[in-house]
Structure 1
Amino acid sequence: MRRAGIVAGLLFCFSAHAQEAITTPERMDGAWVALHHSSDGGEHVDACILKASGPTLQFRATGKELSIQVADESASSGQSLPVTLTAGSFTRTFPMTSAETGALSAPVESDSLLDTLEAFKKAPTLTIRIGSTDSDPIPLEGSSRTLDAFVSCMKTHEFGGSKKSGNKGRH
Structure 2
Amino acid sequence: MKIHTGFLAGVVALSMLPAVASAQEAGQLQDSTQWTQAPAGARQALATPQQQAAPPAMTIDERHDGWVAIHHSPDHGLHTDLCIAGAENEVLMVRADADSLQLRSADDHWTLTPGSKGDMTVRIGAYQHVFHMQANDATTLSVDLKPKEMAALLDGMEQGQNASVQYGSRTVVNMDLTGSAPVLDRFRGCAETNHFADLGRAPDARATPF
TM range (shorter): 0.7 to 0.9
TM-score by length of 2: 0.65
The counterpart of 1:37, out of the listed 53, 72, 93, is 72
2:50 equivalent to 1:54 = no
SS at match of 1:112: helix
Deviation, structure 1 residue 161: 5.1
Q: How does 1:107-146 map to 2 (within 5 A)?
A: 107-146=144-183
The counterpart of 2:195, out of the listed 150, 158, 163, is 158
2:105 equivalent to 1:70 = yes
Structure 1 residues 19, 115: CA separation in 2 closer, same or farther (over 3 Å shift)? same
Provide Cα deviations, 1:81-139, integer angstroms capped at 9, x if missing partner. 01111111211111011121121111001111011111112211112111113443221
In structure 2, the gaps of 5 or more residues are 1-51, 201-210
**Alignment identity in percent?**
27
CA contact (8 A) 2:150 2:199 kept: no
TM-score by length of 1: 0.78
Q: How does 1:19-38 map to 2 (within 5 A)?
A: 19-38=54-73
Largest Rg, 1 or 2: 1
SS at match of 1:120: helix
Provide Cα deviations, 1:121-167, integer angstroms capped at 9, x if missing partner. 2211112111113443221123211111000111101113569xxxx
Deviation, structure 1 residue 31: 2.0
Higher relative contact order (CA 8 A, sep 6+): 1
In structure 1, the gaps of 5 or more residues are 1-16, 164-171
Deviation, structure 1 residue 77: 1.3
Deviation, structure 1 residue 68: 1.0
Corresponding residue for residue 205 of structure 2:
none
**Matching residue's letter, 2:168:** G
Structure 1 residues 134, 87: CA separation in 2 closer, same or farther (over 3 Å shift)? farther
Q: Distance in 1 between matches of 2:172 and 2:83?
A: 25
**Matching residue's letter, 1:42:** G
Deviation, structure 1 residue 23: 1.3
Q: Distance in 2 between matches of 1:162 and 1:144?
A: 14
Deviation, structure 1 residue 55: 2.9
Q: Distance in 2 between matches of 1:40 and 1:66?
A: 22
2:121 equivalent to 1:87 = no
Q: Distance in 2 between matches of 1:93 and 1:105?
A: 13
Work out the number of aligned pairs and report it. Answer: 147
Please, which moves more after superposition, 129-138 or 140-149? 129-138
